[in-house]
Structure 1
């Protein structure tokens, strides 16, 4: 178990007027042995943050640490990679020309597993961990189902003996009928191996099922962070409430007073241009509690709110804590994963 920390991390692409700061001064901690679910709409910077952690994107500012030791530009500490990542598309993350056994063996630390027999045994053990028969080690990715490929991708990540695992939308490319089995596997492995994990998704039902803490990201910044139950039952940031409303049946967003729909001026607002984010609070151009609705709240346009409060932090000048709906399917009734747990794949 290890702690993963992002300290004022920024990731920037391009130069000049069309430059894009995908991640802007993010502070985030994945506690040792815990799962932090990172949620946000497409383009919020979730995957850019993950790729920076494993050395696939350069960090333009700040630093990333594992147990206090800063990661190098290639994602290494002391010659090893303490982080391993499982990608969204299990087919593209595995070499189609290599057997799955060879793909897993390639990741094994050479100084920890010596000899071909020992490496074959370790591959078989890892395949068993993810409920894939050892006899499939000689098969190629194209011969497996999507769920089986994602299990192999998990085994490959675990083969690197990581301190932290980053899972980036690992169920979104799978058929809905087998998403539940993969989520059950992830939760079981995390608890059995006491893994620290950053779990990235846009699906709030999924993040509720696997996460101890939830971080909500918008336009490159963390706008809310706290224990999963608190964030889902008592969302404080307007953007978090918008995400929760969209996940409910019917997808109707609730306004700040619990109305069934957002004001028309908010519903019609366009998302901000990520190349030119707004000043002050980045959510203010589409916020139901900001100057779009309340003209006197000019502070939202002028000053960037800091996330305050512990352990439930929210970056909003006008933090509100609405009561949770009594039968919210996102917050309640998730003793089982969102997809059928009995499906196979």
Structure 2
């Protein structure tokens, strides 16, 4: 089994003036056989980190390691495969389903047309699709069926690590649960390590063994899923949980939370803790906590199973919403 490690990875676009550091010094491990859920609001750098892993975004500094080997030194067939967000654009509309899956197979892995056809049938059955659909075009399938094909195509490449980037966000709610159940079933059956990216905390909780929370290009909290989602240590994680809609709850928070504060410009992130301009326990509400605006807490974050980049880790436990996600049940 393989382990994927992001070692102090940064991804920067543009020059010194006007450039954007989309991922800034991220260290994260996807352990063998486990699912790491990466969550954060839009623009936090989640997808950029995923694209860096598969070589679609340049790594400016740091390394992405697979079992200790820099992925840039791996052979051309990368043992990392990615399932993208939009099933309508991730498949070639001119190729049949069978041709798309076959194209992703390693060269020489299945010699002969019959062997390749049998492998396509096996993969389609693995993702709960009728092998008879191999001759159909993507436009003849529904969104959920296309995403199943995209998963089969990724598995055709014989990956050692699978990366899923918001794979249910473009689907109807009625099929999201079925696709999530399929992904979890396939991951467990194949014992594949997976980086699963989503902005939906319910989805992350349902599928993940480990949760990492990303904000403005950095990991602000990471640890076992149950611990992070039931006992969050970082104010940003608590705010995400408080903002998540809950059945039978018509509230959106309380007056102690600074509301409608514009996020910082990612081209010019604030000094110190990047969340301090929006933080309900930082200098915005506690002026004496000037350390938040001057010193980056990530530099001193404890390397433990559950860690948070916050000078006042665990403060504000009364923050609303922390207990709501402790309830189990369906991801949707």
| Deviation, structure 1 residue 326 | 9.7
Q: Does 1:289 align with 2:307?
A: no
Instruction: Name the structure 2 match of 1:320.
Output: 314
Instruction: Name the structure 2 match of 1:330.
Output: 325
State the distance in 1 between where 2:295 and 2:19 align: 23
Instruction: Name the structure 1 match of 2:272.
Output: 280
Aligned with residue 216 of structure 2, among 215, 219, 225? 219
Aligned with residue 132 of structure 1, among 129, 132, 135? 129
* Cα contact 1:208–1:331 (8 A) shared by 2: no
Instruction: Name the structure 2 match of 1:58.
Output: 58
Q: TM-score, normalised by structure 1?
A: 0.91
State the distance in 2 between where 1:294 and 1:102 align: 60
State the distance in 1 between where 2:152 and 2:15 align: 38
| Deviation, structure 1 residue 14 | 1.0
| Deviation, structure 1 residue 278 | 0.3
Instruction: Name the structure 1 match of 2:304.
Output: 310
Instruction: Name the structure 2 match of 1:342.
Output: none
Q: TM-score, normalised by structure 2?
A: 0.95
State the distance in 2 between where 1:145 and 1:226 align: 36
State the distance in 2 between where 1:329 and 1:61 align: 39
| CA offset digits 1:220-239 (Å, max 9, x no partner) | 00000000000000001000
SS class of match (1:17): coil
State the distance in 2 between where 1:328 and 1:177 align: 27
| CA offset digits 1:261-290 (Å, max 9, x no partner) | 334xx2142211000000000000000111
* Cα contact 1:248–1:329 (8 A) shared by 2: no
In 2 relative to 1, CA 326–103 (structure 1 residues): closer, same or farther, beyond 3 Å? closer
Instruction: Name the structure 2 match of 1:41.
Output: 41
Instruction: Name the structure 1 match of 2:187.
Output: 190
State the distance in 2 between where 1:24 and 1:238 align: 20
SS class of match (1:18): coil
SS class of match (1:286): coil
State the distance in 1 between where 2:322 and 2:90 align: 39
| CA offset digits 1:148-199 (Å, max 9, x no partner) | 0000000000000000000000000000000000000000001110010000
| CA offset digits 1:300-339 (Å, max 9, x no partner) | 11110022251100000001162798994532132x331x
* Cα contact 2:241–2:322 (8 A) shared by 1: no
SS class of match (2:17): helix
| Deviation, structure 1 residue 32 | 0.4
Is there any run of 5+ residues in structure 1 with no aligned partner, and where? 254-259, 339-345
In 2 relative to 1, CA 163–303 (structure 1 residues): closer, same or farther, beyond 3 Å? same
State the distance in 2 between where 1:27 and 1:309 align: 11
Describe how 1:137-286 pairs up with structure 2 within 5 A.
137-249=134-246, 250=250, 252-253=252-253, 260-263=254-257, 266-286=258-278
Name which of structure 1's ranges 180-189 and 9-18 shifts more when overlaid on structure 2. Answer: 9-18
In 2 relative to 1, CA 63–293 (structure 1 residues): closer, same or farther, beyond 3 Å? same
Is there any run of 5+ residues in structure 2 with no aligned partner, and where? none
How large is the RMSD of aligned CA atoms in angstroms?
1.6
State the distance in 2 between where 1:333 and 1:295 align: 38
SS class of match (2:277): helix
In 2 relative to 1, CA 181–324 (structure 1 residues): closer, same or farther, beyond 3 Å? farther
* Cα contact 1:248–1:330 (8 A) shared by 2: no
